Homo-oligomer: A and B are copies of this chain.
């Protein structure tokens, strides 16, 4: 059984979902782990993770629009030090995910046909986001 970390950096240019499936798959290949798990962990509090449909761009836009409406920028937040997208970013992060653990089976991510792993950016500005991948297996 072996263990391997890999740090992934993702550049984001404003709010939206950014697919990282290929980067995760590539790190798994390089780690030469045939069977095990990879834990994807995002090291931020104003962006998050989600596993979701990766074929239809319209579905992604609907997900993004849903969160814009559920957690609006113009609500009356107490914490708004960094502007109107500050507090909604923290709430959207709480409603989605910080870590996701995906099985590795026979050298491949065991995702379903339409599943992709996404970084969900909640801030308007550009950012370099850090994600730690931890692979455990044999």
Could you tell me if B79 and A103 are in contact, using CB atoms closer than 8 angstroms?
A: no
Which residues of B have CB within 8 Å of A61?
Answer: 78-79
Q: Could you say which of B59, B87, B99 contacts A79, with CB atoms under 8 Å apart? A: B59
Complex-state Cα separation, A39 to B65, whole angstroms: 31
A123 to chain B, nearest CB (A): 13
Q: Could you say which of B3, B37, B59, B81 contacts A90, with CB atoms under 8 Å apart? A: B59
Q: How many copies does the complex hold?
A: 3
Q: Could you say which of B39, B53, B98, B134 contacts A45, with CB atoms under 8 Å apart? A: B53
Could you tell me if B100 and A43 are in contact, using CB atoms closer than 8 angstroms?
A: no
**Does A12 sit at the interface, judged by CB under 8 A?**
no
Q: Could you say which of B44, B50, B81, B112 contacts A112, with CB atoms under 8 Å apart? A: B44
A 42-60 binary contact with B (CB < 8 Å = 1; else 0) = 0111100011110010110
Q: Which residues of A contact B (CB under 8 A)?
A: 1-3, 5, 35-37, 39, 41, 43-46, 50-53, 56, 58-59, 61-63, 65-66, 70-71, 77-79, 81, 87, 90-91, 93-103, 105, 110-112, 114-115, 130, 132, 134, 136-138
